[in-house]
Chain A
């Protein structure tokens, strides 16, 4: 048992003022860090809350596509319609999407596409055709040799991409199903299933998404039904398992996840036209001379570029499609 501890000399006792000051300083420092983190965190959540994840790969229930046989030189035969422009990276093509059925932000569809099941899948063909039929997607895929086509894609929001699609001309399918002479238009419909496409629970657009083409637009050799991109099955966010690609029209004409193709005598309704008729017409041809009421269509940003480039008439496909619109006022038929 030792002596009782000696009290430290009074010179070593922290004066009360300094003791309190330190506590005050630490308290203020904690409040500073906490408040800045809380404010910074909530603002960050507001603007970057939904930043993109890696795109899910095509679901395992999709059998691999029979890609076109490589030519003797070892490369896939290139379509005469393909552009040589630099292709937009796969990552951008599959993470920057407008597919409101899978979410409104550009990065949402890639994150939510897991709920969309591409098999089993059937496509109903009806209306003004010799015989209406319901086709299994794999039967349909067996009908045509797939070809790769590298197309420009111009969104009405003034951005664009270059995408290597895999698919077949819509004209081939139309020929096969034999529409009647009364078939003046082709109408398309997206799957309606809020479980698989949860965005359909919101009322932002009328569901299901519907689109349409004039029959001569539908049979133009440029128009294709795509089932893949970059040599693989379409990811959900790009419209698995079957979508329309009409490269001289704004991207929203390229209806995704198609379950119905109907031949009609009257011009079919189209979703964006029903949502805002003054802004989105039936034709929706890419046209730098006809502005969107709220923004210019004169130029576009190619994804990957910093500066903008001039938008081309019919998205650069005028030589193939301009004759479809001879004598038409494209300002009124936007």
Chain B
């Protein structure tokens, strides 16, 4: 959102959308920054620089990026609660959609390339393998959230219903962590770190919700 000379000259006053303290650079920067790994991985993949097992490497990378960005999305509200920085709150949606973007790449790569669209094998995997069942469930929960992430959908659904629907994220992200835990052969360090962060982020909310209830009752 760059300023035109006209804006700054201040003639049409109402077009001066930038309030002091506005951060017009923030959302574009997050989209660019979070998009860079997708670009980097595609380029490395095309150049044969993703190592001996590029499909597995890209699958793992996309999955990890999805989880990291979804955790960042979950982190916005607690950060606002603790620091009072109101500008952090709207980033929930940005991070959430970016996380969904990588989750979709992850699922697409699994379905189309890793499994070569072998539908029977995929169906068997989803039913028989808990880590795939859990991962797929987490992804399917994210789809309606991404779909209803626009202002228009929010209005259409109505705030209360929209908020209720979007509570699904509190299930989807822990399922994503569980998917990670079930996948690793032995070293649980990374999944446990993710699990701990998610636990703290959800814990902050739970405690706040209980306090509110307590305050209302008292």
Q: Which A residues contact B (CB, under 8 angstroms)?
A: 15, 17-18, 20-21, 24-25, 28-29, 31-41, 43-44, 46-48, 51-52, 88, 91-92, 95-96, 100, 104, 106-107, 157, 159, 204-205, 275-276, 291, 294-296, 298-299, 301, 303-304, 306-308
How many angstroms between the C-alpha atoms of A91 and B52 in the bound complex?
8
Residue numbers in A under 8 Å from B30 (CB-CB): 35-36, 39
In the complex, what residues of B have CB within 8 A of residue A31's CB? 23, 25-26, 29
| Cα–Cα, bound, A231→B49 (Å) | 26
Interface residues of B toward A: which range? 35 or more
Contact present for B29 and A47 (CB under 8 Å): no
Q: Which of B65, B121, B185 has the most CB of A within 10 A?
A: B185
A21-B8, A43-B65 are known contacts. Are A38 and B116 too (CB-CB below 8 A)? no
**Across-interface contacts of A301 in B (CB, < 8 A):** 53, 55-56
- Complex Cα distance A38/B29, Å? 9
Q: For residue A39, which residues in chain B have a CB less than 8 angstroms away from its CB?
A: 29-30, 33-34, 36
- A294 contacts which chain B residues (CB < 8 A)? 129-131, 182-183
Question: B51 contacts A43, CB within 8 Å?
Answer: no
For A28, the chain B residues whose CB sits under 8 A away are 2, 24-25
Looking at chain B's contact residues, the main secondary structure is helix
B51 touches A18 (CB 8 A): no
Instruction: Flag whether B60 is at the interface (Cβ < 8 A).
Output: yes
In the complex, A51→B30 CA distance in Å?
A: 24
In the bound complex, what is the Cα–Cα distance between A74 and B186 (angstroms)? 46
A-B contact pairs, 28 of them (CB 8 A): A15-B8, A17-B8, A18-B8, A18-B9, A21-B3, A28-B24, A29-B25, A32-B32, A33-B29, A35-B25, A36-B28, A36-B29, A36-B30, A36-B36, A38-B33, A39-B36, A47-B41, A51-B49, A51-B51, A96-B51, A106-B51, A106-B52, A204-B186, A276-B186, A301-B55, A303-B53, A306-B55, A306-B113
| In the complex, residue of chain B having the shortest beta-carbon distance to the beta carbon of A35 | B29
Interface residues of B in 1-40 (CB under 8 A from A): 2-3, 5, 7-10, 18, 23-26, 28-30, 32-37, 40
Contact (Cβ within 8 A) A52 B51? yes
B209 within 8 A of partner (CB): no
B30 to chain A minimum Cβ distance, whole angstroms, is 6
Complex interface: chain B residues within 8 A of A24 (CB) = 3, 18
Contacts of B128 in A (CB 8 A): 291, 296
Q: Which residue of A lies closest to B115 (CB)?
A: A308
Note all chain A residues with C-beta closer than 8 A to B37: 40, 43-44, 47-48
Minimum C-beta distance from A17 to chain B (A): 4
With contacts A44-B37, A204-B186 taken as known, whether A106 is within 8 angstroms of B53 at the C-beta atoms is: yes
A308 to B112, CA, bound (A): 12
In chain B, positions 43-69 with a C-beta closer than 8 Å to chain A are 44, 49, 51-53, 55-56, 60-61, 64-65, 68-69
Q: Which residues of A contact B113 (CB under 8 A)?
A: 306
Query: Across the two chains, which residue of chain B brings its CB closest to A96?
Result: B52
B49, closest chain A residue (CB): A51
Kindly identify which residue among B7, B26, B68 contacts A35, using a CB–CB cutoff of 8 Å.
Answer: B26
The complex places the Cα of A58 from the Cα of B145 at a distance, in Å, of 53
Interface residues of B in 144-192 (CB under 8 A from A): 182-183, 185-187
